[in-house]
Amino acid sequence: MSKSAAETCRSGLMQTCRQHPPAPAGGFLLPFSVRVPGPGRLFVLDSGGFPNPTVPAIARVYDYSYQWNPLTRTFTARLTRTVSLEGLPVVFAEDVEVTVSGLYVVAESVIGALWVIHPDGSIGPGVVPNPGSSIPALGPCTLPPVTVDGIPFATAGNFAPGVLSLAARNGQLLFGTTCNGGLYRIPLQSLVDPSRTPEQRAQDIVAVSPRPLGKDSPSTASTRTTTGSTRPIRSTSGSSASIYTRAHVK
């Protein structure tokens, strides 16, 4: 904030004075999600750009510490850490959740995967399909033809993204997908279970609130659930997954 702006805030002439978090070197590319897990901490997921077959989008998670001064009504922030997902099979990062244990979970919606950022900044696969395969509960699919008041509704390629919004509650990670609809959960501990491959961990995904009956999922590969019940949505493949682990801390 400039000196003149700060002086104006102190003089009470401005009702509210705000300063955006300082941009990282090179600026933001596509800041897509923000988390404020508690006072003084703020996290920004920059997806790095929309999916492009010729230009890889490199997602980054920026950690900020911030202060809010209620007397001067000023907001100040400092960038404390950058975690880059460069080199990982991440086509588009949709969301990030910060858990009470210090783990970050990143949702990837084009391949359909959950990635984990550990407190030390290292990155590992939480639930990730084998190359060339897909996890039905997380992956994308094709939207069926839809007409609204006689007008066809379509997106580019009728593409329905996979896992999107995330929220952690009581040791569970809850998420939704455009492809399947509904609400699902998986224990946070399952994301770091060393006894199973990242793809096998998908066996712990359970439907909390499935797509209502009569509203067919566009994904024919997804396992259906009956009203009032919860059961795992399992992967179509049980083979071992390649383990991607990186430490991308700056």
Rounded Cα distance between 179 and 170, Å, is: 26
Q: How far apart are CA 192 and CA 127, in angstroms?
A: 9
What CA–CA distance (Å, rounded) separates 210 from 182?
4
pLDDT of residue 219: 45
Total structural domains within the chain: 2
Higher pLDDT, 217 or 116: 116
Q: Are residues 21 and 109 in the same domain?
A: no
Q: Considering the domain boundaries, does residue 198 fall inside one?
A: yes
- 84 pLDDT above the threshold of 90: yes
Do 105 and 20 reside in the same domain of the chain? no
pLDDT confidence of 18, banded at 50, 70, 90? low
Of 31, 49, 84, which marks where a domain is finished? Answer: 84
Based on the domain organization, do 185 and 250 belong to the same domain? yes
For residues 112 and 221, membership in a common domain is answered with yes
Q: Can you give the pLDDT at residue 58?
A: 95
CB 26 within 8 A of CB 10: no
Indicate if 77 and 175 belong to the same structural domain: no
Asked if residue 90 is part of any domain, the answer here is no
156 within a domain of the structure (yes/no):
yes
Structure tokens, 121: 């900044």
Residue where one domain finishes, among candidates 50, 84, 118: 84
pLDDT at 239 over 70: no
Over residues 177-200, the mean pLDDT reads: 96
Do residues 89 and 242 touch, judged by C-beta distance below 8 A? no
223 has pLDDT over 80: no
Q: What is the 3-state secondary structure (H, E, C) of the chain?
A: CCHHHHHHHHHCCCCCCCCCCCCCCCCCCCEEEEEEEECCEEEEEECCCCCCCCCCCCCEEEEEEEEEECCCCEEEEEEEEEEECCCCCCCCEEEEEECCCCCEEEEECCCCEEEEECCCCEEEEEECCCCCCCCCCCCCEECCCEEECCEEECCHHHEECCEEEEEEECCEEEEEECCCCCEEEEEHHHHHCCCCCCCHHHHHCEEEECCCCCCCCCCCCCCCCCCCCCCECCCCCCCCCCCCCEECEC
In this structure, is residue 171 part of a structural domain?
Answer: yes
Mean pLDDT in residue range 126-149: 91
Find tokens 């975690």 and name the residue.
83
Instruction: Let me know whether 26 and 54 are in one domain.
Output: yes
Give the pTM.
0.78
Q: Check residue 176 and give its pLDDT.
A: 96
Domain housing 160: 99-250
pLDDT of residue 43: 96
Question: Considering the domain boundaries, does residue 223 fall inside one?
Answer: yes
Looking at the domain assignment, is residue 155 inside a domain?
A: yes
Q: How far apart are the first and last CA of the chain?
A: 26
How far is the C-alpha of 216 from the C-alpha of 211, rounded, in Å? Answer: 7
The pLDDT of residue 232 is: 45
